[in-house]
């Protein structure tokens, strides 16, 4: 729910207002965890061309 909010453009204060059960620390911990988890991510892309999905 926190990451979904951030992904949709919500700032910390908006997230906290919409979810009063959360604390500032909750939001900071989630963003720190996500950042740590993404540090070792590798994104591979390929150009499959226009006809790649044609039968």
Q: Which residue has the tokens 């919409």?
A: 18
User: What CA–CA distance (Å, rounded) separates 1 from 26?
Assistant: 11
**What pLDDT score does 26 carry?**
95
User: What CA–CA distance (Å, rounded) separates 22 from 10?
Assistant: 15
- What is the mean pLDDT of the segment spanning 14-30? 95
Percentage, residues of the chain above pLDDT 90: 45
First-to-last alpha carbon distance for the chain, in angstroms, is 39
User: What CA–CA distance (Å, rounded) separates 51 from 35?
Assistant: 36
DSSP symbol at 8: T
**What pLDDT score does 54 carry?**
55
Q: Assign 55 a pLDDT band (cuts: 50, 70, 90).
A: low
């Amino acid at each position: 729910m926190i990451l979904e909010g951030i992904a949709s453009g919500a700032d910390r204060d908006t997230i906290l207002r919409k979810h009063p059960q959360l604390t500032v620390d909750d939001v900071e911990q989630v963003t720190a965890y996500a950042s740590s988890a993404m540090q070792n991510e590798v994104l591979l892309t390929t150009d499959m061309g226009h006809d790649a999905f044609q039968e």
